[in-house]
Amino acid sequence: MTIVWLLGAVTSLGVGMLGERILGIRARRQSEKLAALRERLDVYANYAKLAAVRRVEAEEMLAGLRREVAEVEGEILSLQSAVTADSALAPMEFHCVDRVARSAGPLWYVAVEALDAAAPWTGVRTYAVAAESAEDARKRIAERHPSPTSFSISPAAPLVLPEG
């Protein structure tokens, strides 16, 4: 019976050693997998840090671009207001068609450009005309300068005299 006990103990010892070896191999493989996963986690952490740095850089660049856009939009608005202000300004020197001021209708200004070298002036003259409509003001100037080849007559614009 001792032999049976001895054989059982040796078998049990062999099975235990075999089990320990198998479990040791599995534990080593799991440790290797865990180390590989930790390395991947470190790599991903570095990617996250890099992404955070790049996000901050992108936000700074975006803020700078927004400031530039605001400056450019302000400049555009100021230029647009300057253009509308300049277009609203009428020339300050006018030639009058009538010797006696007419009270019929508002004042209009009409620009006439001399196209012919034989014209009595060079460049553009601006006329102040009292008329019922812009078309009437332009017609009155066209009567004064009938030649379409010698003079270019612009459309009439309302004349707003500065107060002062």
Name which residue leads in pLDDT, 56 or 103: 56
Q: Is the pTM of this model over 0.85?
A: no
- The domain locations on the chain are 1-89, 95-158
Q: Which 3-state string (H, E, C) describes the chain?
A: CHHHHHHHHHHHHHHHHHHHHHHHHHHHHHHHHHHHHHHHHHHHHHHHHHHHHHHHHHHHHHHHHHHHHHHHHHHHHHHHHHHHHHHHCCCCCCEECCCCCCCCCCEEEEEEEECCCCCCCCEEEEEEEECCCHHHHHHHHHHHCCCCCCEEECCCEECCCCCC
Whether 162 has a pLDDT exceeding 70, the answer reads no
Of 48-57, 63-72, 150-159, minimum mean pLDDT range: 150-159
Residue 164, pLDDT score = 52
102-124 pLDDT, tens digit each:
666 788 888 888 887 777 778 88
The whole-number pLDDT of residue 154 equals 87
Per-residue pLDDT reduced to its tens digit, 61-109: 999 999 999 999 988 888 877 766 655 555 566 777 666 666 667 888 8
For residue 100, what pLDDT is reported?
61
pLDDT per position as a tens digit, 6-46:
888 889 899 989 989 999 999 999 999 999 999 999 999 99
**Confidence bin at 50 (pLDDT 50/70/90):** very high
